[in-house]
Amino acid sequence: MTSLARVRAAARGALGLAALALAACGGGDDGREQGKAPRDGQPQRGGTAVIAEVTDIANPMPVTWHGGLDADMMDVMYMGLTAQRWGDGRLVFLHSDRNPYALSWHHEFVGPDSTAIRYRMRSALKWSDGHPITAHDVVWTYAMYADTATASPRLENVALIDSVKAENDSTVVFHFKRRYPGMMFDSGLNIAPRHVYQGTPPAQLMQHPVFSRMQDLVVSGPFKVGAYQSGTQLTLVPNPYFPVRPRLDRIVIRRIPETTTRFVELQNGTVDLARGAPFDVVAQLRRTRPDLGWERERLRYWEFVAFNRRTFPPFADREVRRALTLAVNIPEIRRSLRMEEFTTHAVGPYAPIFKDLYDPRALPPPPFDAQEAARILESRGWRDTDGDGIREKDGRPLRFTMITNQGNQRRADVATMLQRYWRAVGVDMRPRILEFGTFQELMIGKKEYEAALGSWGVQLTPDITPLWRPDSPFNIVGFDDAQAQALMDQALAAPTEQEANPRWRAAAERIVQDHPYLWLYFYDNVTGRSARLRGVKVDSYGAYQNTWEWWVSGEARRAPGAAADTGAPKDTAK
Amino acid sequence: MLSYLLRRLLGAIPLLLGILTLIFFVVHLAPGDPATRFVGPNVPPEVVEQIRRNLGLDRPLHEQYVKWLWSFVRGDFGFSFTAGQPIVNLLPGILWNTVQLTLVSMVMIFAIGMLIGIVQAVRQYSLADNVLTFVALFFYSMPSFWFALMLVLVLSLKAGQNGWPIQFPASGMMSVDYEYLPLGGKIVDRLRHLALPAIALGIGSAAGVARYMRGAMLEVIHQDFIRTARAKGLSERRVIFKHALRNALIPIITLLGLYLPFLLSGAVLVETIFSWPGMGRAVVSAILERDYPMVMAGSFVIAALVVLGNLLSDLLYAVVDPRIRND
């Protein structure tokens, strides 16, 4: 059974389902494209940054948050014992000497087999209401994570934690059931303020009254809620107790779900960051607005066609699935839809951002070879006997329905191209576009589909078992390979990354050889940035990881979208 | 009149309950599961089941219905799955947003539509009549979402890029520093933000009202009492606005009853494009996300407003036509 820490990264990856609806994305080694936006100059204090987001906050609390903007707000509002960041192709865990977001300044592995970690927390840290942050907050938060009544999406992260004990106010020890590579990750989850929530029954935490008064949220991160209008606008103001004083006076997050409007606002200069840029919008605005910058959360989503062998018997034949893969010219899809720059041909479950797990030599992209595809189908008994251009076997045509969700033009275009490729080798695919909830239920809930075009979020941890374990609800294709399962079990049982990674890579190879999916591409999440906002660090980890370092340039200190001649307090350049 | 009002209001109660019962079962029986929004590859199935239990979704449907009905009649609309808040906290704000947009749109629809209709009727078959007919049909046949996007691109984006003297905000209800504005500044700011959504929402309907107004006025101004009014030596303005208009208003008031529900619930696309957090967008988002309590609460408010709108139009009949009042 899985033991690796994962959830935060999982939801950070927008959990595949959120990703299913997304249309946008972006690339660049450090996730940043300069454009012609000025990047130099000394950071200054004061000013307001305005962000256009697709979604709204709902439950911004470490134990219960479950996706959307709440995931990003964890990087703004709540510290963990370590600050987790993406560095050199893997997650890294930083202490307070390297990142003010960390509650601890030191950790050490203790116990006979290094199955415990002792964290020493910084002293004098306080919540935004002035209460001290102590080891007891850590203990209480982990008790809530582990309580099944809480229904925390991070329950799996604490499955291998035996106990969490406070030795004193600033020392906390995590005892694990055994040693495993994800111990740092699992013990680094965001911490909630015990004094605010401890009287609430775990099952009621999600409905705590404070979520009706967001400005009363008690946080530890650089910003707290200053004002909130549900569905409209969230204003963040500096948390006076965060160890580093944020440079900005305010961050205003506006919910603008419509893509065109969001990027009109960016062009108007009324927002500084616009999330979820469709690739064609990026290409267009590069020509007309070279002053805009484009930040990229690299390769955080994976687009696929799932072949459901449970419901469509021809997909039970691995060679048929291989033929369908060979028949599709993925480079041409990427080129035709002008997304080469923001996508990478996907081969296997690990995106190229994983330095230790992505292995292009072992898993090269399969070539486009329609002739070979036709030959394979022929050899498996699928022949066009009646001359209608569609292959048959035992009187049944090779015809299936591929579902996808509405509201995503890219997916609609990809579906059209796939139809053409497969038709060329005598396979009749019929696309069916469904409302998102129905699509989700058919693909994941009931698994009543033949083929599905969708995407998963890419997790930042190596554990791939949720998609590939035979008993997992997310094994939507019916993959069941004993050798792959054994390799994954060995990887999960390995005490160190060095021992686990070769097994993960081997499992990935087994999976790819089975052709359970048509692997299309990994793609970026792209954010448009105005020239006035500086200091924003965006990479595969996320877009809100260093908000205290954001700043606006002196010549443009007035808030974007501000009405003229207001009595607003002037942004304080210091 | 009072007993009539009371009768109508009491009659609306079973109607509303019937509507809501129907909606309850339709949304619960439709494909999709509210718990799927909590589902992810890293969320164990037992957590999803616990969430379902915490939200009361594990109970049989009839039990959920009785529980919902009991809460509902006590004024408890429940807890929004998506917003994470009690609906009674959310609904007034959403409703007020919608009322603002609807009121401005209604004023625009009827003021512009009636004015154009009157001009067309008074100058029947003139160049002005033909041009206005063409313009009215043009806007009447234009999809509101397309028109909304054009408004954003022209009156917001292009206006800004070309330095036009007036540029409207493309989205939202207020500027980021709204809270610091003086009262007058707040009103102006809100009106600036209302302009584009109200135009997008109202222009097609205004064109429709113009067509109705033209027809109604033409019917009235050819009647004997208008000729008599003119023969008495009344000014043309008095004839048109006092005698003809009042008699031509009845079909227009019917439109008021028809447009109100459309504006309240049918503004989804416009609200989405302009990021206007109103009822239409809230209910449709709730339906898509299977936020059952929000769907029920939103549907109730819309249904109640439709009933009230129709009641209002009936009352206005009585105001403009004394014969109805006496009946």
Q: What is the pLDDT of residues A241-260, one digit of tens each?
A: 999 999 999 999 999 999 99
Q: Is there a contact between A444 and B177 if contact means CB atoms under 8 Å apart?
A: no
Kindly report, residue by residue over A372-391, the tens digit of the pLDDT. 999 999 999 999 999 999 99
Q: Cβ contacts (< 8 Å) between B85 and chain A: which residues?
A: 211-212, 230
Burial (CB < 10 A; 0-12, 13-18, 19+), residue A572, is exposed
pLDDT computed for residue A558 by the predictor: 59
**Residues 6 or more apart from A64 whose CB is under 8 A from it?**
A150, A151, A152, A153, A205, A206
**What is the nearest CA distance from A561 to chain B, expressed in angstroms?**
6
Are B277 and A231 a contacting pair at CB < 8 A? Answer: yes
Instruction: Write out residues 516-545 of A within 8 Å (CB-CB) of B.
Output: none
CB environment A169-193: b (16+ within 10 A), e (fewer): ebbbbbebeebbbbbbbbbbbbbbb
How many degrees, rounded to 5, is the angle at CA A544 between CA A538 and CA A550?
A: 85
Span B115-126, average pLDDT: 92
Contact A156 B44 (CB under 8 A): yes
Instruction: Reply yes or no on whether the pLDDT at A567 is more than 50.
Output: no
Using a CB–CB cutoff of 8 Å, tell me whether B64 touches chain A: no
Average of per-residue pLDDT across A457-471: 92
Q: Band the pLDDT of A560: cuts 50, 70, 90.
A: low
Identify whether the C-beta of residue B176 lies closer than 8 Å to the C-beta of residue A47: no
Please, which residues 269-308 of chain B have a Cβ atom closer than 8 Å to chain A?
272-275, 277, 281-282, 288-290
Please tell me the predicted confidence (pLDDT) of residue A569: 41
Q: Is the predicted pLDDT of residue B235 greater than 60, yes or no?
A: yes
Find all residues with CB under 8 Å of A144, minimum gap 6, and list them: A63, A150, A152, A192, A197, A202, A205
A212, A459, A467 member nearest B85 (Cβ): A212
Q: Which residues of B touch A50 (CB under 8 A)?
A: 176
pLDDT: which is higher, B42 or A85: A85
Contacts of A563 in chain B (CB under 8 A): 175, 177-178, 181, 185, 188-189, 192
3-state SS, residue A382: coil
CB contact under 8 A, A459 and B38: no
Residues A104 and A96 sit within 8 Å (Cβ to Cβ): yes
Q: Residue A557 pLDDT > 80, yes or no?
A: no
A149 CB neighbours in chain B (<8 A) are 50, 54
Query: What pLDDT, in 10s, does the model give residues A467-479?
Result: 999 989 899 999 9
State the smallest CA–CA distance between residue A355 and chain B in angstroms.
22
As a whole number of angstroms, the distance between CA A269 and CA A552 comes to: 13
Contact A312/B at CB under 8 A: no
Nearest CA in chain B to A474: B41
> pLDDT category, A561, cuts 50, 70, 90?
low
Nearby residues of A361 by Cβ (< 8 Å), 6 or more positions away: none
pLDDT tens for each residue of A262-282? 999 999 999 999 999 999 999
Predicted local distance difference test score (pLDDT) of residue B84:
81
B322 against B174, higher pLDDT: B174
Closest-CA distance, B116 to chain A, in angstroms, reads: 31
| Residue A367: CB atoms within 10 Å | 10
Please check the confidence at residue A36 and state whether its pLDDT lies above 60.
Answer: no
Across A2-18, average pLDDT: 37
CB environment A298-307: b (16+ within 10 A), e (fewer): bbbbbbbbbb
Asked whether residue B296 carries a pLDDT value surpassing 60, the answer given is: yes
Question: What pLDDT shows up at residue A275?
Answer: 96
Q: Is residue A13 scored above 60 in pLDDT?
A: no
Per mean pLDDT, which range of A138-147, A452-461, A532-541, B277-286 is the poorest? B277-286
Chain-chain contact of B79 with A207 (C-beta, under 8 angstroms): yes
Q: Do B93 and A257 touch (CB under 8 A)?
A: no
Subunit contact A17:B161, Cβ cutoff 8 A = no
Q: Which alpha helices (H) appear in A5-108, and where do they start and end?
A: 7-12, 15-21, 69-77
Q: How far is residue A560's CA from residue B209's CA, in Å, rounded to a whole number?
A: 39
Give A368's DSSP letter: P
Contact A437 B273 (CB under 8 A): no
- What tens digit of pLDDT does each residue of B145-166 get? 889 999 999 999 999 999 999 8
Interface of B with A in 218-257 (CB under 8 A): none
When CB atoms are compared, the residue of B51, B172, B180 closest to A254 is B172
B85 interface with A at CB cutoff 8 Å: yes
pLDDT of residue B327: 57
Chain-chain contact of A264 with B38 (C-beta, under 8 angstroms): no
Q: Can you say how many angstroms the Cα of residue A344 is from the centroid of all Cα atoms in its chain?
A: 16
Structure tokens at A92: 């890294």
Give the number of C-alpha atoms closer than 13 A to the C-alpha of residue A59, restricted to the C-beta side.
22
The 10s digit of each residue's pLDDT in B165-208 is: 989 999 999 998 888 899 999 999 999 999 999 999 888 889 98
Closest-CA distance, B122 to chain A, in angstroms, reads: 41
Q: State the pLDDT at residue B325.
A: 61
The fraction of chain B above a pLDDT of 90, given in percent, is 46
- B39 contacts on A by Cβ (under 8 Å): 15, 17, 444, 473
Q: Which two tokens stand for residue B189?
A: 């700011």
Of A547-551, B37-41, B252-256, which range is least confident?
A: B37-41
Whether residue B38 and residue A440 make contact (CB cut-off 8 A), yes or no, is no
pLDDT tens for each residue of B64-95: 999 999 999 898 998 898 888 899 999 999 98
The whole-number pLDDT of residue A14 equals 34
**Does residue A3 carry a pLDDT above 90?**
no
Given a cut of 80, whether residue A439 has pLDDT beyond it is yes
Q: Kindly report, residue by residue over A169-210, the tens digit of the pLDDT.
A: 999 999 999 999 999 999 999 999 999 999 999 999 988 999
Q: What is the mean predicted confidence (pLDDT) over B218-246?
A: 91
Please tell me the predicted confidence (pLDDT) of residue A5: 35
Backbone angles phi, psi at A31, to 5 degrees: 80, 5
* CB-CB under 8 Å, B180 with A568: yes
pLDDT digits (tens, 9 = 90+) for A206-232: 889 999 899 999 999 999 999 999 888
For residues A78 and B113, give the distance between their C-alpha atoms in angstroms, rounded to a whole number: 54
pLDDT greater than 70 at residue A161: yes
Work out the average pLDDT over A310-321: 97
Report CB contact under 8 Å: A563, B161. Answer: no
Contact A566 B46 (CB under 8 A): no
Higher-pLDDT residue of B276, A35: B276
φ, ψ dihedrals at A371, nearest 5°: -65, -45
Compute, in degrees rounded to 10, the torsion defined by CA atoms B149, B155, B160, B164.
160
pLDDT tens profile B12-59: 889 889 999 999 999 888 887 888 777 777 788 888 888 888 888 899
Q: Is B40's CB within 8 Å of A17's CB?
A: yes
Binned at pLDDT 50, 70 and 90, residue A555 comes out as low
Parallel, antiparallel, or unpaired for β A517-529 and A451-457? unpaired
Q: Which residues contact B62 (CB under 8 A, 6 or more apart)?
A: none
Reported as a single tens digit per residue, the pLDDT across A47-65 is: 999 999 999 998 999 999 9
Per-residue pLDDT at A559: 62
CA distance B26 to chain A (A): 14
Average pLDDT, integer, range A151-165: 94
Q: Does A569 reach chain B within 8 Å, measured CB to CB?
A: yes
Who among B41, B94, B149 is closest to A260 (CB)? B149
Q: B317 with B253: CB under 8 angstroms?
A: yes
Contact A207 B277 (CB under 8 A): no
Report the distance separating Cα A498 and Cα B175, nearest Å.
53
A440 touches chain B (CB under 8 A): yes
Q: What is the mean pLDDT of chain B?
A: 88
Instruction: Of A282, A228, A328, give the one whose Cα is nearest residue A525.
Output: A282
Interface of B with A in 144-183 (CB under 8 A): 149, 152-153, 156-157, 160-161, 167, 169-182
Which of B197, B209, B207 is CA-nearest to residue B104?
B197
The arithmetic mean of pLDDT across residues A1-13, rounded, is 37
Sheet order of strands, A104-110 included: A104-110, A116-121, A171-176, A161-168
| Average pLDDT in chain A | 89
Find residue A51's DSSP bridge partners.
A253, A273
